[in-house]
Amino acid sequence: MKYRIRNATIQDIEKILVMLRKAHPCDPRYLAMDAREYIKKFMREPYYKTSNHILLFNDEDLVGELLASPDVGYGILKNNSLGLRLNILPEHISTYTITLLLQTVEKIAQEQGFVELQVTLDSEDKLKEFLEAQGFKYDSSGYWMVKEDCTLPVLQNMQGFVVRHIKQDEIFQFYKTVNLAFSTDENWKPYEYEEFAQKYIYPEYVDFNGYFVALDGEKFVGTVVAWAHNSPNAIFPGGEIRALGVLPEYRNKGIGSFLLARALEFLISRRITKFYLGTDSYNTPALAIYRRFGFRVWREHLRYKKRIG
């Protein structure tokens, strides 16, 4: 087989989508994705660079993709790390093809001043052993969780706190609270405001009725976002919970549960019956809350890292 690589262009997106559906035939994220969704999710400014988007061809057939960016979808990586999205058709996974792609991106990363590569894979992904052979080491794991019913647990009254919709002029305060709530996560880098806006304000599916804040008096102490993806082209057809966080000094008071309940109530009012969220496997308090609400692990993903330079 004759392999070659080149940088991706906008004209390649439809080919990339066909390849992704073949590589992940049971993954609804790719089965439902169209070109517009792909651009919105994986080619976001200011982090997307054509030089960091590498395609693998076997003769004229597209058989793999490697996209490198510090924006990995759920946030910006800390520690000057470059995140990798690596997808190859199973029959073309080999030491040669993996080495070809990773050596190329490692050189690019060093030229751009990055000191670490980070890649996240599904737990059953065949790429694991090849990454380990290239010097990547397991770091941590996380879960996508799903809930497929509309039942909610009975909650005790939340004394002294209020959960309500945010107002349009509270967006900036909401943004600052999200950063503070996730400040204890060692893998998460605080958003710049424009980064936050690209993800949580500008997208067409944003409905601020699904943005909730917990207050202690006038102080914002917790946040949650509920996205209702009703479009048949949605990556997660159903409801998605994002940015569920509570300031460190306000945890263990039931605030997270009330925020999650309000978010789910909002989605149910939009006739959503299937709900998704993501979390890290080491976040045992959050996992306990999610399981209490009826979420179960849908997919496990593993995070691998490699120091470079």
Look up the CATH number of the domain holding residue 157.
3.40.630.30
Residues 120 and 219 in one domain: no
Residues 102 and 227 in one domain: no
The reply to whether 298 falls in a domain is: no
The two tokens of residue 226 are 């509920």
> In degrees to the nearest 10, what's the CA dihedral of 303, 144, 123, 190?
0
Residue with more model confidence, 93 or 77: 93
Residues 181 and 277 in one domain: yes
The two tokens of residue 105 are 């991106």
The reply to whether 91 falls in a domain is: yes
Most confidently predicted of 49-63, 74-88, 222-236: 49-63
Residues 111 and 138 in one domain: yes
Instruction: Please state, in angstroms and rounded to a whole number, the distance separating the CA atoms of residues 49 and 44.
Output: 9
List the domain range (segments joined by +) for residue 50: 3-142+303-307
Residues 119 and 240 in one domain: no
pTM (2 d.p.) = 0.81
Residues 184 and 235 in one domain: yes
Terminus-to-terminus CA distance in the chain, angstroms? 31
Domains in the chain, number: 2
Let me know: does 56 contact 101? Beta carbons within 8 Å.
Answer: yes
The reply to whether 234 falls in a domain is: yes
| Tens digits of residue pLDDT in 14-71 | 999 999 999 988 777 777 788 888 887 788 777 788 889 999 999 999 999 999 988 7
